[in-house]
Amino acid sequence: MEWKEWAKSLCFQLWEMIVTAFVRPRLFGYGLRTQWHIPKRNDSHYAYLNVSPRPEASKVRKVLEHWYSAMPDNSKPDVRGRFRSPDYAQHFSAFTEIAINRLVRRLKYHAEVHPELPETPRHPDFLLTASNGTNCFLEVTVCTDSDPVNDGKRRLKNAVLDAVDGIVHPAFMLGVEPRGVPQGPLPQKRIRQEVERNLSSLDPLKIVADLREKGLEAMPRFQFAELGWEFEYYPIPVHRKAGKHPGRMIGLETFETRKLTASASLRDSVLRKAKRYGALSSGYVVAVNVLSDFRIDRDEICEALFGTPQYHFRADSFASSDPEFSRLPDGVWFDKGGPRYTTLSAVLIANALYPWNMPKGELLIVHNPWAVHPCRDLFPGVTAAVPIEDHLDWREGLATEELLGLPTSWPY
């Protein structure tokens, strides 16, 4: 990077350290941030965000630090500890609490942290009280498709891809097609040396000519297979300026197809919280940040909460009659015995809300038709699904950036 840009960033960081030196506690650590590298696949979200001097990373830190400072003091140590955790679910659980607390403050609610309950030693995350006296308990959680066993194996694969990403070649990037999951540690150094050796054997001019004439299908392909994992790769010609580091060697990565289970994961996450506190004296809302590779849509949300959709056709008039719509009794709020978990008034959903893309993380709330303590006046401005007779009425609300007070171009 240009020395002037580096000096400007350094001066800003020094100023930031001086200004905040006496402010405790802080969400992020102190120290100069000089790691301009692109994050590696196995880097924790906090670790990268904490050391990056990139302007957009600085904006994310500044906003999250401000939001965190506004949280109740007795909640800060726990939130800070989880936010700094390398564990994916712990980190994003804390981030979601920070973001939901920001929403609560923007709505001018009073939030009591971990209120006492008369018949259980457990404590919900918050007791919210609106200016008109309406209140409800709020529990915050996250929903992911990950599991510890596959996450560990995925880290083994990512370690190899990170090692390959560190290769620098003047004429090529790589397209890669990893398949399977490794059953043990892979020889990173040997794989990297093999990739470098294969690339050095290629004639860049011939590769460029073949690409122009026949496309990517004409690129020579190389394979590595070990411990249940296959790694196929091929060169992609590029033109680099002298002395300019590419950032990543892998320019194109193909992912394996897999079954998406966001609806089932959301249902299970809400169920764990729905039965946590038993009968309550006020409304109860579970806020869930659905962290999936693909955004969950409204049909999937309804499937999780009300049951899997199904259609019935009459055997004697299959072609002429319209199918009858119904749902299987496998949702959060409805099973074979009818309505259940009626103490759960609503589910507040953050749809793929991440620090880097908060304006794109849609916020919406779905109300329980059978709630013992309805709280339909809470969370005004949030897109809401309100039960009316035998259907849900979707009422569009404000954009996430308006609800949280962020620019649309966040964080650039």
225-258 confidence digits (pLDDT tens): 988 889 899 999 987 665 455 578 898 888 776 6
At 108, phi and psi to the nearest 5?
A: 65, 35
pLDDT, one tens digit per residue, over 6-27 is 555 555 555 555 554 555 679 9
Which sequence spans correspond to the domains of the chain?
A: 1-58, 70-145+260-412, 149-253
Give the mean model confidence (pLDDT) for residues 322-339: 89
Question: Which DSSP symbol is given to 150?
Answer: H
The torsion of the CA quartet 311, 315, 320, 322, rounded to 10 degrees, works out to: -20
> What is the rounded CA–CA span in Å between residue 184 and residue 200?
29
At 176, phi and psi to the nearest 5?
A: -130, 150
If you search the block for the tokens 């403050």, which residue do you land on?
Answer: 105
CATH pick for 70-145+260-412 out of 3.10.20.30, 3.40.50.300, 3.40.50.720, 3.40.1350.120: 3.40.1350.120
Distance of CA 266 to the CA centre of its chain: 13
> What is the rounded CA–CA span in Å between residue 174 and residue 195?
10
> What is the rounded CA–CA span in Å between residue 219 and residue 235?
7
Q: Is the peptide bond before 115 cis (omega within 30 degrees of 0)?
A: no
**Looking at residue 153, what is its pLDDT?**
78
If you search the block for the tokens 């994992």, which residue do you land on?
Answer: 229
pLDDT, one tens digit per residue, over 284-316 is 999 999 998 778 999 999 999 999 988 877 776
> What is the rounded CA–CA span in Å between residue 136 and residue 139?
10
> What is the rounded CA–CA span in Å between residue 246 and residue 251?
10
> What is the rounded CA–CA span in Å between residue 364 and residue 287?
10
**Looking at residue 93, what is its pLDDT?**
95
pLDDT, one tens digit per residue, over 119-135 is 788 999 999 999 888 89
CB 17 within 8 A of CB 9: no
> How big is the CA angle at 230 (ends 227 and 234), to the nearest 5 degrees?
145
Distance of CA 161 to the CA centre of its chain: 21
> How big is the CA angle at 395 (ends 394 and 400), to the nearest 5 degrees?
110
Question: Which DSSP symbol is given to 175?
Answer: E
CB atoms within 10 A of CB 333: 22
Distance of CA 97 to the CA centre of its chain: 13
**Looking at residue 1, what is its pLDDT?**
46
